[in-house]
Structure 1
Amino acid sequence: MKRKWIVLTTLLLALPTAVSGAALAKEMRGVTSETVTYSSNGQAITPSAPAVNMDGSLYMPIRALAEALGKYVDWDEFRNSVSLTDKPVLTGKYELKAPNLAEGIKMGVGSSLTHLPGDPDNVFYTTADRGPNGQPTINGKTVRTFPLPDYAPTINKIEVSKGEINILDKFPLKLTGTDPVSGKATITGLPNIKGRDEEPYDAKGEKVLAYDPYGLDIEGLAYNPKDDTFWISDEYGPSIVHAKRDGTIIERIVPKGWSNQVSAPLVPSREKLPEVYNKLRQNRGAEAVGITPDGKYMFMAMQNALRNPDKAMDNSRQVRIMKIELATLNPVAEFVYALEDAKQFKELAQSDIVISDLVVVNENTLLIDERDKFSGDKAQMKRIYAIDLSTATNIIGKYDTTAAAGKTIEQMTIADLKANGILPTTKRTVLDAVAFKFPYEKIEGISLVNGDTLAITNDNDFGIDSNNPENGTLLWTFKLPYTIK
């Protein structure tokens, strides 16, 4: 059987991806060698595509060969580059054992995960989000309910050991004063701004609750070793909140114009983020935050594309990652992160692919948690990528409106990015959690220990609307066959 093959002479193997302007490629004809057998380290392997015999030499698609050898394969169409990465080994499984907060409401952690330098390798800090909440339909209207409206968003210190996640300490977020809604120093997880944020209801969905100008929907958690404080990403603002180790809130970085919409005098609001960040989709705000080991820079990633200019951008692939100088709190760079194309998956909308956490390895290297909305056997996309910012285009202030290129960055397609010379971040797969059958949807916390141990955990949403008799919070560890530094 005859087949046409494109062989890249620089790679010596066929690449099963369309290559535009293939000046280095030449067309060759060969006979496939489907009867050839293969082994690696003495073990039989079966490539996903057969090799082709050309004048006594075997040529095989890079992806087929690399995957057969147990490697991840990533193709960067912007840089015409291929990355091969060894797969990690699953080394530990741990489950949270904790009492319920109330009947039908489970204890929750897992919206974030960070390891502090100097701590034991099995000790982490993590958060849940804004607290238990649901979306029942009452009299034909879907409402957002808060069955425990006085729940205080909390930083938890945890230890993993002997198959369990143990809570070592808790640090509820609090003010140097009294929260007007809780009546205590501790804040709530209730929305901030009436008319912009979701309307909060009681457990029955009948009574509208008060908005809390200090309320936070906390998602990401980062530690700054220079001053021994935490920074927390918040979906409401979107904002980044500065807090002491004991949970006392110091200040809040918000978009320009945010302070005009709410009065929160107990926490200084630093309007450092560009005004365009006010155009977030509800519940898809500042999802991830991380700090360089030297405490010089902080990175913040949105969960989805901004609604810039409108709601149609919910299906945009372009998500923003902001770089902030911590000494001044000024943004100094902004990068495009291109989400995976939903078209390659089954029954998955583009808006249901999101960023859920990040780890800052250094100024140019980040780990990004990208996932779909499915769980169990339906899950198709739960990946941790290593991304490189060194060659990515700094777009800060350039594509917030249509003035620069006729389109905002959210309106641009991949072709538009190329036409405008905009390079998104690179992406190299570090972990495909679907292949390891991680059972839950919301992998929202990732951490890197010693450069070669990756930890992931999930947010259990407090067990609301869950039939799982267990807590539903897991933390898994993986050993990488290399060091990320």
Structure 2
Amino acid sequence: MKKKWVITTATGLFLTAGIGFASAAVINGTPALGFKFSNNGQAVSISETPVNIDGHLYVPVRALSEAAGKYVDYDAFSQGVALTDKPTLIGKYALKDPNLAEGIKMGVGSSLTHLPGDPDNVFYTTADRGPNGQIEVNGKTVRTFPLADYTPTIYKIEIADGTINIIDQFPLKVDGVDPVTNKANITGLPNIKGRDEAPYDAKGETELAYDPYGLDIEGLAYNAQDDTFWISDEYGPSIAHVKRDGTLIERIVPQGWASQVETPLVPARETLPAVYNKLRQNRGAEAVGITQDGKYMFMAMQNALRNPDKTMDNSRQVRIIKFDLSTLKPIAEFVYQLEDASQFKDLVQGDIVVSDLVVVNDHTLLIDERDKFSGDKAQLKRIYAVDLTNATNVLGKYDDDKAAGKTLEQMTVADLKANSIKPVSKRTVLDSVEFKFPYEKIEGVTLTNGDTLTIVNDNDFGVDSTTEENGTELWQFKLPYTLK
């Protein structure tokens, strides 16, 4: 019996001797039943039935590649298909430290980085702004900080024998006195009243003080050229420059930010474009990374900006910005397009976020993209290799609707194509859902030796957790190739 096949560049790529492309062609073929497939001598099954067309066996690229243990990614902008070998899980490690207080777990994992020269099992990480949650008080949802004096801290950790061990820690501090703590150590409290989320005590009854130096740490990068860290912060959004001992040096902020708060101990460099003031609260500067030569720094937002307003919470466009570290000024900005939520179950677009990045070189990044679910409900927990080579530099071009009638965040795929805007290309290097990683928030990612990928989750200190097992785990994977 003849069978009609519709072949398009998006969904109908087939293998013969190579990869054949067609543009919306309809052809007749006979289902090729009974064929057996193997990969490295092991039998595999494929999700689609092959078809015989004029004596040639055609098999969908995705079906055959996935059966052979490869990830398959399609780029609609470049009309390209990327096949990538899957990694191997080589280790699991859990944090065993005691709780910080009753009902509040110890946690690390909102970031992760490995320093050159350190042993392969030693990393640096952070928690975020400290234990916080949301409760309803008198019909109003408020943000609570049950440990308001918590100090955001850089932790040096070692993994061994299935355990994450904290071997040193560096509380963040100013060279002087923080006005909230009355000592050098800062807090994780918001910076600006009326702009940031209002902080409340554990009962949600008393509004707490705002800390102009407070940080909500989400990403951590190391610059070997001057032996310092850079931290991406959700409040500003900002990127804070920090000495190895935890002392804050300076802070990159959006234009117009510094006029709203005084920070004489930590100079605010207004080199982020003003459009970054339009962040969605608690969805700010999520990830940061630095090239090995210390020349460039990349920062990625967690979600789309509210540009022009909060209707953009379901935009797929996330901004990645590139800085010249010698001047602290941005030199490029790229579009990272989040996965389309419509292909998943019970997800709206705003539920998909960027959670970390790793700089491989000046044109290749690893991006951590995830959904809001954990356990069996998780559908999207992927690390992508991102290529900036052919991506369009949109710095300063689509920050308002005057350029093309729409802001960058308002644009659809068709709008991007119409304006010749190419997002960065993506290919999967890890799909942790396939490995059944149990937690929602993979927020720390790093790469060692070009072929060992390490991930760790942020447990949010167990606040508002629905499971007693919400701990911190670090998993390692060996890539079957080298990224460099």
Match of 2:319 in 1: 320
Superposition pairs for residues 9-408 of structure 1, below 5 Å? 14=14, 26-408=25-407
Match of 1:19 in 2: none
1:55 Cα shift?
Answer: 2.5
Name the amino acid aligned to 1:143: V
Aligned residue number for residue 415 of structure 1: 414
Number of residues of Structure 1 aligned to a counterpart in Structure 2: 478
Judge conservation of contact 2:8–2:22 (CA < 8 Å) in 1: no
Kindly state the Cα deviation for residue 8 of structure 1 after the two structures are TM-superposed: 7.8
Helix, strand or coil: the match of 2:113? coil
Instruction: State the partner residue of 1:18.
Output: none
Q: Corresponding residue for 1:438?
A: 437
Deviation of 1:326 (Å) = 0.2
- State whether residues 439 and 470 of structure 2, in contact with CA within 8 Å, keep that contact through their aligned partners in structure 1: no
Using the TM superposition, name which of 461-470 and 296-305 deviates more.
461-470
Report how far residue 5 of structure 1 moved. Answer: 2.4
* Structure 2 residue aligned with 1:451: 450
Letter in 1 for 2:204: G
Q: Distance in 1 between matches of 2:438 and 2:227?
A: 35
The DSSP-based 3-state class of the residue aligned with 2:134 is coil
Q: Is the 8 A contact 1:132 1:146 kept in 2?
A: yes
CA contact (8 A) 1:13 1:59 kept: no
Q: Percent identity?
A: 74
1:210-263 CA-partner distances (Å, limit 9, x unpaired): 011110001000000100000000000000000000000000000000011111
Give, in whole Å, the separation in 1 of the partners of 2:144 and 2:75: 43
CA distance in 2 between partners of 1:224 and 1:411 (Å) = 35
Q: Distance in 2 between matches of 1:172 and 1:420?
A: 46
Distance 1:306 1:471 in 2: 30
Q: Which amino acid aligns with 1:336?
A: V
| Whole-angstrom distance in 1 between the partners of 2:345 and 2:469 | 29
Pairwise CA distance, 1:92:
0.3
Q: Contact 1:200–1:209 (CA<8 Å) still a contact in 2?
A: yes
Deviation at 1:6, TM superposition (A): 4.5
**Structure 1: distance between partners of 2:340 and 2:469:** 34
TM-aligned CA distance change 1:442 to 1:12, over 3 Å: closer
**Structure 1 residue 37: deviation in Å?**
1.7
Closer/same/farther in 2, CA of residues 406 and 230 from structure 1, 3 Å limit: same
1:6–1:14 Cα contact (<8 Å) kept: no
CA RMSD of aligned residues (A): 1.5
Instruction: Supply the AA of the counterpart residue of 1:393.
Output: T
CA distance in 1, matches of 2:341, 2:13: 28
Q: Paired residue for 1:2?
A: 2
Tell me: CA distance 1:69–1:196, structure 2 relative to 1, closer, same or farther (3 Å).
Answer: same
1:98, 1:471 within 8 Å by CA — same for their partners in 2?
no
Aligned AA (1:126): T
1:417 counterpart SS class: helix
**C-alpha deviation, 1:3, in angstroms:** 2.3
SS at match of 2:304: coil
Query: What whole-Å deviation, never above 9, does each CA across 1:24-76 have from its counterpart, x for those lacking one?
Result: 67542100113212122221111110110123221000000000100000000
Letter in 1 for 2:82: S
Are 2:464 and 1:469 aligned? no
The residue type paired with residue 122 of structure 2 is V
Shift of 1:366: 0.1
Q: In the alignment, is the contact (CA less than 8 A) between 2:6 and 2:12 conserved in 1?
A: no
**SS of equivalent to 1:135:** strand
Unaligned runs of at least 5 residues, structure 2: 16-20
Pair 1:255–1:8, CA change in 2 (3 A) = closer
Measure the CA separation in 1 of the matches of 2:136 and 2:33: 57
Give the drift of 1:139: 1.8
The code of the aligned residue for 2:14 comes to: A
Q: Secondary structure at the match of 2:277?
A: helix
CA distance in 2, matches of 1:65, 1:274: 45
SS in structure 2 of the partner of residue 252 of structure 1: strand
Q: Secondary structure at the match of 2:170?
A: strand
Q: 2:238·2:252 contact (CA, 8 Å) conserved in 1?
A: yes
Contact kept? 1:153, 1:188, Cα under 8 Å? yes
3-state DSSP class of the match of 1:136?
Answer: strand
Residues 289 and 357 in structure 2, CA contact (< 8 A), matched pair in contact too: yes
State the shift of 1:183 in Å.
1.1
For the residue of structure 2 that corresponds to 1:193, the secondary structure is coil
Cα displacement string for residues 64-97 of structure 1 (whole angstroms, at most 9, x for unaligned residues): 0000100000000000000000000000000001
Q: Cα distance 1:70–1:23, how it changes in 2: closer, same or farther (>3 A)?
A: closer
- Letter aligned with residue 73 of structure 1: V
For residue 331 of structure 1, give the secondary structure of its aligned residue in structure 2: strand
The code of the aligned residue for 2:286 comes to: E
Residues 230 and 42 of structure 1: CA distance in aligned 2, closer, same or farther (over 3 Å): same
CA distance in 2, matches of 1:41, 1:243: 49
Q: Distance in 2 between matches of 1:23 and 1:342?
A: 27
- Counterpart of 1:283 in 2: which secondary structure? coil
Distance 1:256 1:75 in 2: 37
Deviation at 1:12, TM superposition (A): 11
Question: Structure 2: which amino acid aligns with 1:2?
Answer: K
Q: Which runs of 5+ in 1 are unaligned?
A: 16-21
Q: Measure the CA separation in 1 of the matches of 2:148 and 2:3.
A: 65
Structure-2 change in CA distance of 1:282 and 1:25 (3 Å):
closer
CA distance in 1: counterparts of 2:132 and 2:276, whole angstroms: 25
Query: Match for 2:280: what amino acid?
Result: R
For residues 352 and 106 of structure 2, the distance between their equivalents in structure 1, rounded to whole angstroms, comes to 26
TM-score w.r.t. the length of structure 2 is 0.97
- State the shift of 1:340 in Å: 0.2
Secondary structure of 1:100's match? coil
Cα distance in 2, alignment partners of residues 250 and 212 from structure 1: 16
